[in-house]
Amino acid sequence: MNSRERVERAINFEKPDRVPFNFWMDRRRMAELDAKHGADFRLTRYDADVIESYACFPPFPSADHEMKAGTSWMVKELFEDWGEAKDLDMPDPQAPALYEWLDYHLKTFPDKAIIANSPNVLTIIEMMRTQENLYLGMCMYPEEVKALFHRISDVMAAVAENVCQRDITALYVQDDVAFKNGLLLSIEQCREFVFPHWKKVIDVGHAHGKPVFFHTDGKVDSLWEIFSEELGVRMLNPLQPELQDIAEFKRRYHGRMGCYGGLQTSLLHDVSPEKIREHVRDLFEKCGRNGGLIMSTHDIDYSMSDEQLDAMVDAIKDCTY
């Protein structure tokens, strides 16, 4: 069974030969491992099943940023007055260069599950303004914020239309709407400001018969039903298990919505290989039976050793059906 078949079975709540997986690490650590093992080391060394193709992300206007300790930090906002937002130039979703990397992935790795990443309005606005000023803007200048959100999601819907005409495995919509204690916005605010833009892009995927993955960090159990029933999300990422009950998620949503994630990123660099193996097996027992699980991480800490990484991947590959 190849990776694409394995992932397709998992997302259709059928049993593959083993649980499929992917992982992300601190970008500096990934660069080190690329240099050590060769480009695409996750595929060539570890045989990861999923490729997240980011390159079809249009170049939206952005604030000034600088890199510190492997993270990009905003040093000057793109604009100070929400009235200026109406004059921002939007990128061209038809630019052929946007799709070159996705086309390369599709051509080079036909046996892998390739999902096209589609950041949404919160992610893109936070490249322009701080979270603080974004949320203040929603309160003080709601119509200006909504107008900019519509312009952004129109671009992303057009991109989704183009990528979904290709042979991708799934469309992957992304917006962080929560932190470790709960939502960043009330559900009412989400309905007013955010959900319509998620749905605009998700509906494109559904119109083309593509399953939709969704990424948001944080504690999102209050949105599980909305993701499943109102938005039609097939796989939710990363479902941090230290923040919500992943066994309860499995019990409630198996057959409707699965887990793309489930591994506790904050744990993996800080425990023994044996503890890592126990953690992987525990996730499989809680969430992996009868399909519906693609194991993955968010950004594993820079300090994760080769031994720890090897233990994680070996343990995942031992999760057979």
The CATH number covering residue 118 comes to: 3.20.20.210
pTM above 0.75, yes or no: yes
Those residues with Cβ within 8 angstroms of residue 203's Cβ, 6 or more apart along the chain or in another chain = none
Q: φ, ψ for residue 293 (rounded to 5)?
A: -135, 130
Paired strand residues for 170: 115
pLDDT for 55: 75
The number of distinct structural domains making up the chain is 1
pLDDT for 316: 98
DSSP characters for 118-167? EE-HHHHHTTTS-HHHHHHHHHH-HHHHHHHHHHHHHHHHHHHHHHHTS-
Owning domain of residue 262: 3-317
pLDDT for 70: 77
Site of tokens 């397709």: 8
Q: Which residues of the chain have pLDDT under 70?
A: none
> Which of helix, strand or coil describes residue 63?
coil
Predicted confidence (pLDDT) per residue in 186-213, tens digit = 999 999 999 999 999 999 999 999 999 9
pLDDT for 207: 98
pLDDT for 123: 97
Nearest Cα to 8, choosing from 117, 114, 107, 106? 114
Q: What is the CA radius of gyration of the chain?
A: 19
Site of tokens 């799709």: 99
Q: Are 114 and 171 in contact (CB under 8 A)?
A: no
